[in-house]
Amino acid sequence: MNSPQQEPIKWRQHLSLDLPKVSPSPLWIHACSVGEVASVAPLIRSLIQQGMPLHLTVVTKTGMQHARRCFSDQISISYLPWDLPTRCAKLFKHIQPRALLIAETEFWPGLLKAAKKHHTPVISINARISDRSFPRYQKTSFYWRRVLSGVNLFLAQSDIDAQRLEKMGIPSQRIQSIGNLKYATPRPEVDLADLQQKLDPSKQRPIIVLASSHENEEQQILEQLAQWQSQYPNLLLVIVPRHPQRFDTVAELIHDFGFSVKRWSQDDPRPVDVLLVDAMGVLNQLYAICDIAIIAGSFSNIGGHNPLEAAIWGKGVLTGPYVQNFRQIMQEMQQQGAAIICKDKNELASSVIQLLQNDSQRLHLHRAAEKVMENKERILQKTLTELHKIIPSITA
């Protein structure tokens, strides 16, 4: 694929009415939404470098947008059909994939049934069984044992995920715990001078990024902002909501608190209290120049978001107590001094003040994040080695 693809019509591809244009006999990778696409992006980039023909399917519109931003001129991308055997079988017949890789917990029965019917090898990559879903999987293990019988190999993110797969009835010889592919995420290309000019031309303002925030989380942070500004009047808070449909709501909330605000999409040079990022795909850049990174989804019981996107820039993180989506990663970062898990917003407020006041403490947090990321490229290599055993056309 060497030219940008036309935006697909979501509902038509869900019904298999519009079939994507694909390269002959591609490797098919399925990832649900933004998080799953991001988790397998290092593997996709490696396979592209090998010259492997690839087709990527997603479920959500945000997943499609993220995939197109990353790969649209290099691979074919489409929406996954609704999980009905006839719809999935139609896409299988059209694609004729050499193998199917499913990311994290994309265990769609219709998709797996179609793969078995077409004698297609299936590998679960970066497999994860969340705290929330595990009890349900375990109670219905008799069902999932049958549904997942056609999966040749599960490459689990952690030992905990591997153990949970076993309790779901998967034979241990089909499971390997090799680590989280997200560790292999490279730094994005960023024009640091341009980014600095957009956020803080003076280069004097402390910058705090609130990353991937959900409903009620912005309020918890804004309640602390006046306290932080009392000691650091030129502080800049950058808020990056997780979902684009909330941009206007968050803007109104900032106004209600009495803070000055501008949007990322505005060409506005005035200094303000809060910058609202009303665009997708920007967050990874912001870690490059922030002083403090607060990972949201952790102050409400969402489970947290990926702290490694900050760590690849050598930035340690602060979070709330709900980090179960990245438990093993957060445990490692906390043990090495690269993460501060705050039990509530008050503990967060005091932690932020300490880091702003103590340059050496903040530097220690960030250097610890750099150490966490050292030598993580081995996880990508181990993944490629295991895939090569089942799909010899992949270079190990």
pLDDT in tens, 28-52: 999 999 889 988 999 999 999 999 9
What is the DSSP annotation of 158-178?
SHHHHHHHHHTT--GGGEEE-
**pLDDT per position as a tens digit, 55-94:** 999 999 989 998 998 897 899 999 999 998 789 999 999 9
Q: What is the pLDDT of residue 231?
A: 93
Rg of the chain on CA atoms, in Å: 22
Percent of the chain with pLDDT over 90: 84
Please compute the mean of the pLDDT values over residues 116-128 and round it to a whole number: 95
Q: What is the pLDDT of residue 38?
A: 86
Q: What is the pLDDT of residue 376?
A: 76
Strands (E) located in 39-152: 54-58, 76-79, 99-103, 122-127
Whether 10-186+376-390 shares its CATH topology with 192-373 is answered yes
Query: If pLDDT is split at 50, 70 and 90, which confidence band does 2 have?
Result: very low
Question: In whole angstroms, what is the distance from residue 171 CA to residue 283 CA?
Answer: 40
Q: What is the pLDDT of residue 5?
A: 64
State the chain's mean pLDDT as an integer: 93
Please compute the mean of the pLDDT values over residues 216-244 and round it to a whole number: 96
Q: Mean pLDDT lowest for which of 175-184, 222-231, 286-295?
A: 175-184
Question: In whole angstroms, what is the distance from residue 91 CA to residue 276 CA?
Answer: 40
Domain 10-186+376-390's class? alpha beta
Phi, psi angle pair for 136, to nearest 5°: -70, -45
Q: What is the pLDDT of residue 210?
A: 98
**pLDDT per position as a tens digit, 307-349:** 999 999 999 999 999 999 888 889 989 999 999 999 998 999 9
Domain positions in the chain: 10-186+376-390, 192-373
Question: In whole angstroms, what is the distance from residue 356 CA to residue 334 CA?
Answer: 19
What is the DSSP annotation of 107-128?
--HHHHHHHHHTT--EEEEEE-
Question: In whole angstroms, what is the distance from residue 284 CA to residue 66 CA?
Answer: 12
Q: Which superfamily does CATH assign the domain made up of 192-373 to?
A: Glycogen Phosphorylase B; (3.40.50.2000)
Q: What is the pLDDT of residue 375?
A: 66
Structure tokens at 337: 């001094």
